[in-house]
């Protein structure tokens, strides 16, 4: 082979090898055209809540949210709002991204109404919607401290402060015939309550009905369970189905302190030991005196050591006496029918008395009885039959939601009166039903 042919063969072989190597190398994909979407993913839409406070100027507030003064005025006009907030005004602000001004603002103008203003073209359009209330339940525990309102205000609950006070009033109302909450409770007693809570999507909260409650004193637990009977009457009952509402109030004065109890005592003027036939309530001169029950005026007038004395006759042979009165209610006369809670007289210091106070007696069959115990015993008619069966089912469900185990009647005989008050369990808020099996047995039902 000539030298020229040899060189040609070598060159051909090298070329073929080079082409083979290129064939087996990884193929690089051809570049594709750049689409507009590849320029970067747009920021997601954002929404946040805020509140314009009462007395705050709306233009300035909306400017702080990113609107221009002109847009702020257009939004206010479209929503039909005034230039200054007349109440706290919750709102939800929406924008296409955090980098652009808001395009959608929803004002919570009432508890159940919202106005939504949206940017449309170069202007703003408003629409209204009714807010849907949702209802759940919340359990609250309040160790008693001085007063019921103070106790609930200090409780660990998510309810707003003003609604905590409302819970205290609901509990006091439920127990007004069984307990005098201003005098019968002491520091260390325990209170639990299950109430309905109503809320809107924008955060407004209202209080619904009190469903159940429990108060633990040195004498044990007293339950209050709400029940509507077969005739549609709504009332509170203890765990045995006996109504808390009695024929009588527990005290003839709204605000007072007991200065002398029923029983043996040394007379403050005579200095001798004798049987005190009633309960003395110390109160300022002129404090209104209420009739503790429905009845008829039996007598009224001056009566020796009693001073000005009023006697009321009630059903079943019960007579109540109110002594040392400054004066009687205007127009009151013997034989007049009065209703429970009517103001019948005013506190004074007439007769054998050292200071303004009310001497209060309860007589049954002509004999003086201890007022508190006697009036508490005058309970209404307990539930029976189908009403009682329904109530027992409701009671167990409500007490379970309250985080409390409902004891059977036989168990209630051995309820935890020996357990120190400091052992009472403190229940956290609850918006869902709790299982009675997993709830602490903090009390026995009465």
Looking at the DSSP assignment, which residues form a beta bridge with residue 129?
114
Residue 174 has pLDDT above 80, yes or no: yes
Q: Same domain, yes or no, for 145 and 219? A: yes
State yes or no: pLDDT of 416 exceeds 70.
no
Q: Which of the listed residues 130, 158, 186 is the one where a domain comes to its end?
A: 130
In a domain, 67, yes or no: yes
Does the pLDDT at position 445 exceed 70?
no
Please tell me whether residues 298 and 346 are part of one structural domain.
yes
Give me the DSSP letters along 364-381.
ETTEEE-HHHHHHH-B-P
Instruction: Answer for the pair 303, 291: CB distance below 8 angstroms, yes or no.
Output: no
Residue 39 in this model has a pLDDT that exceeds 50: no
If asked whether residues 50 and 117 sit together in one domain, one would say: yes
Query: Mean pLDDT across the chain, nearest whole number?
Result: 76
pLDDT in tens, 195-249: 889 888 767 788 888 998 888 887 778 888 888 877 777 888 888 888 887 778 8
Contacting residues for 288 by C-beta, under 8 A, at least 6 apart: 253, 254, 343, 345, 346, 347
In this prediction, residue 289 carries a pLDDT of 94
pLDDT digits (tens, 9 = 90+) for 397-412: 887 776 654 433 333 3
- Residue 235 shares a structural domain with residue 323: no
Evaluate whether residue 10 is within a structural domain. Answer: no
Domain of 307, CATH number, reads 2.70.70.10
- The residue behind tokens 């109504």 is 243
If you search the block for the tokens 């209703």, which residue do you land on? 339
Residue 29 domain flag: no
Rounded distance between C-alpha atoms, residue 206 and residue 228, angstroms = 22
Residues in the chain: 446
Question: Taking Cα atoms as reference points, which of 89, 79, 16, 34 lies closest to residue 57?
Answer: 89
Q: How confident is the model at residue 261 (pLDDT cuts 50, 70, 90)?
A: low
Do 125 and 236 lie in one domain? The reply is no
- The predicted structure's pLDDT at residue 3: 64
Statement to judge: residues 372 and 390 lie in one domain: no
So what's the pLDDT on residue 246?
76
Strand partners, 357: 282, 348
Domain assignment present for residue 297? The answer is yes
9 found inside a domain: no
**Is residue 207 domain-resident?**
yes
Helices (H), 103-246: 148-153, 161-175
pLDDT > 80? residue 57? yes
CATH code, 105 = 3.10.450.350
Q: Which of 183, 189, 178 is nearest to 144 (CA)?
A: 189
Residue 194 sits in the same domain as residue 216: yes
Residue 18 predicted with pLDDT over 90: no
Query: Which SS3 state, helix, strand or coil, does residue 318 take?
Result: strand
Task: Tell me, rounded to whole angstroms, the distance of Cα 168 from its chain centroid.
Answer: 7
Can you tell me the mean pLDDT for 343-351?
Answer: 94
80 and 161 inside one domain: no
For residue 215, the enclosing domain spans: 135-246+382-423
pLDDT > 90 in the chain, percent:
15
Identify the domain boundary among 322, 349, 377: 377
Q: Show which of 350, 377, 404 is a domain's final residue.
A: 377
Question: For the residues 67-94, what does the mean pLDDT come to?
Answer: 88
Grouping H, G, I as helix, E, B as strand and the rest as coil, residue 137 is strand
More confident residue, 278 or 378: 278
Mean pLDDT of 337-354: 92
DSSP state of 179: -
Between the alpha carbon of residue 290 and those of residues 59, 335, 343, the distances in Å are 55, 17, 4
Q: Which two tokens stand for residue 45?
A: 């839409």
Do residues 189 and 209 lie in contact, with contact meaning Cβ atoms separated by under 8 Å? no
Alpha-carbon distance 181 to 57, whole Å?
45
Indicate whether 171 and 195 sit together in one domain: yes
Question: Does any domain span residue 143?
Answer: yes
Among the ranges given (198-212, 305-319, 431-445), the one the predictor scored with the smallest mean pLDDT: 431-445
At residue 182 the predicted structure's pLDDT band, cuts being 50, 70 and 90, is: low
Name the band, by pLDDT with cuts 50, 70 and 90, for residue 349: very high
Q: What is the pLDDT of residue 276?
A: 63
179 part of a folded domain: yes
* β-sheet with 234-237: strand ranges across: 134-143, 190-199, 205-217, 220-228, 234-237
Indicate whether 347 and 268 sit together in one domain: yes
**Tokens representing residue 300 in the block:** 């009224």
Q: Does one domain contain both 152 and 204?
A: yes
Q: How confident is the model at residue 425 (pLDDT cuts 50, 70, 90)?
A: very low
- Please state, in angstroms and rounded to a whole number, the distance separating the CA atoms of residues 256 and 287: 9
The pLDDT of residue 385 is: 82
Q: How confident is the model at residue 295 (pLDDT cuts 50, 70, 90)?
A: very high
Into how many domains does the chain fold?
Answer: 3
- Whether residue 222 sits in one domain with residue 331: no
């Amino acid at each position: 082979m000539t030298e020229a042919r040899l060189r040609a063969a070598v060159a051909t072989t090298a070329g073929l090898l080079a082409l083979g190597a290129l064939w087996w190398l990884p193929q690089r994909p051809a570049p594709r055209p750049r689409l507009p979407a590849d320029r970067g993913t747009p920021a997601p839409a954002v929404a946040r809540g805020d509140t314009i406070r009462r007395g705050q100027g709306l233009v300035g507030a909306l400017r702080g949210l990113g609107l221009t003064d002109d847009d702020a005025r257009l939004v206010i006009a479209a929503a039909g709002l005034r230039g200054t907030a007349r109440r706290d005004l919750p709102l939800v602000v929406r924008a296409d991204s955090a980098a652009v001004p808001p395009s959608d603002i929803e004002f919570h103008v009432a508890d159940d109404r919202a106005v939504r203003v949206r940017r449309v073209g170069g202007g703003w359009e408003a629409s209204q919607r009714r807010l849907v209330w949702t209802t759940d339940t919340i359990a609250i525990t309040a160790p008693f401290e001085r007063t019921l309102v103070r106790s609930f205000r200090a409780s660990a609950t998510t309810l707003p402060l003003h609604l905590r006070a409302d819970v205290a009033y609901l509990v006091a109302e439920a127990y007004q015939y069984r307990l005098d909450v201003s005098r019968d409770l002491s520091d260390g007693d325990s209170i639990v309550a299950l109430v309905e809570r109503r809320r809107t999507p924008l955060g407004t909260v209202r209080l619904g009905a009190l469903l159940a409650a429990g108060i633990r004193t040195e004498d044990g637990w007293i339950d209050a369970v709400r029940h509507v009977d077969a005739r549609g009457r709504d009332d509170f009952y203890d765990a045995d189905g006996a109504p808390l509402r009695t024929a009588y109030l527990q005290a003839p004065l709204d605000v007072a302190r007991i200065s002398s109890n029923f029983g043996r005592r040394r007379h403050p003027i005579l200095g001798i030991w004798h049987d005190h036939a009633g309960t003395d309530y110390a109160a300022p001169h002129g404090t209104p005196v209420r009739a503790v029950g429905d009845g008829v005026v039996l007598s009224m007038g001056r009566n020796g050591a009693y001073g000005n004395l009023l006697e009321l006759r009630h059903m079943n042979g019960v007579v109540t006496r109110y002594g040392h009165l400054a004066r009687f209610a205007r127009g009151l006369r013997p034989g007049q029918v009065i209703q429970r809670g009517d103001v019948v007289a005013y506190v004074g210091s007439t007769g054998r008395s050292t200071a303004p106070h009310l001497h209060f007696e309860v007589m049954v069959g002509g004999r003086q009885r201890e007022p508190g115990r006697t009036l508490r015993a005058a309970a209404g008619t307990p539930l029976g039959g189908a009403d009682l069966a329904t109530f027992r089912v409701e009671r167990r469900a409500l007490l379970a939601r309250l985080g409390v185990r409902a004891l059977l009647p036989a168990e209630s005989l051995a309820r935890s009166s020996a357990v120190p008050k400091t052992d009472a369990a403190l229940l956290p808020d609850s918006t869902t039903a709790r299982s009675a099996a997993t709830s602490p047995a903090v009390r026995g039902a009465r």
